[in-house]
Amino acid sequence: MTSTLELGRRRFLRSSLGLSGALLLGCDESTKNRLSAAHCDPACDGGGACPNDVAGSRVGTAPFINEGDAPLEVPYNAGLDGRLLTDLSRLTPENLVTPSSSFYIRTRQPDRLVVGARWPISVSGLVEAPSELLLDELLPLEQSQGALLLECSGNSRDGHFGLLSSAEWHGIPLRGVLDRLQIRAQATRVLISGFDDHSQPSARSTPGASWVFSFDELTSTGAFLATRLNGQPLPADHGAPVRLFVPGWYGCTCIKWVNEIVLVDDQAPATSQMTEFASRTHQNGTPALARDFQPAQMDQAAMPVRVEKWSADGGVSYRIVGILWGGTKPTDRLQIRCGEGDWQPVAVCPAQSSNRTWTLWSHPWRPATPGDYAIVLRVDDPSVRQRRLDSGYYLREVRIDEV
Question: pLDDT digits over 346-358, tens only?
Answer: 989 889 999 999 9
3-state helix, strand, coil in the chain (%, to 5): 20, 35, 45
Distance CA 176, CA 381 (A): 37
Rg, the chain, Cα only: 23
Least confident of 15-24, 186-195, 201-210, 225-234: 15-24
DSSP 254-281: S-SSEEEEEEE-TTPBPPHHHHHTTGGG
Q: What is the pLDDT of residues 297-330, one digit of tens each?
A: 999 999 999 999 999 888 899 999 999 999 999 9
Write the DSSP string, 94-113.
TB-SPPGGGS-EESPPPTT-
Residue 60, strand partner residues: 309
Backbone φ and ψ of 95, nearest 5°: -140, 70
User: In the predicted model, is pLDDT for residue 39 greater than 70?
Assistant: no
Q: Which residue has the higher pLDDT, 213 or 12?
A: 213
pLDDT over 80 at 384, yes or no:
yes
Are the C-beta atoms of residues 85 and 163 closer than 8 Å to each other?
yes
- CA nearest to 221, candidates 386, 360, 355: 355
pLDDT in the model for residue 21: 31
| Residue 29 binned pLDDT confidence (cut-offs 50, 70, 90) | very low
Write down the pLDDT at residue 16.
33
Cα separation, 17 vs 11, whole angstroms: 10
Q: Residue 53: what pLDDT?
A: 64
Percent of the chain at pLDDT > 90 equals 81
Select from 346, 253, 354, 251 the least CA-distant residue to 303: 346
- E strand or H helix that includes residue 178: helix 174-178
Q: What is the pLDDT of residue 206?
A: 87
User: pLDDT tens digits for 55-78?
Assistant: 789 999 999 999 999 999 999 999
In this predicted structure, which of 40-49, 83-92, 114-123, 347-356 has the lowest mean pLDDT? Answer: 40-49
249-258 pLDDT, tens digit each: 999 999 999 9
Domains of the chain: 4-62+299-400 (2.60.40), 79-292 (3.90.420.10)
pTM (predicted TM-score): 0.88
> What CA–CA distances, in Å, run from 286 to 145, 213, 273, 396, 402?
32, 16, 11, 29, 48
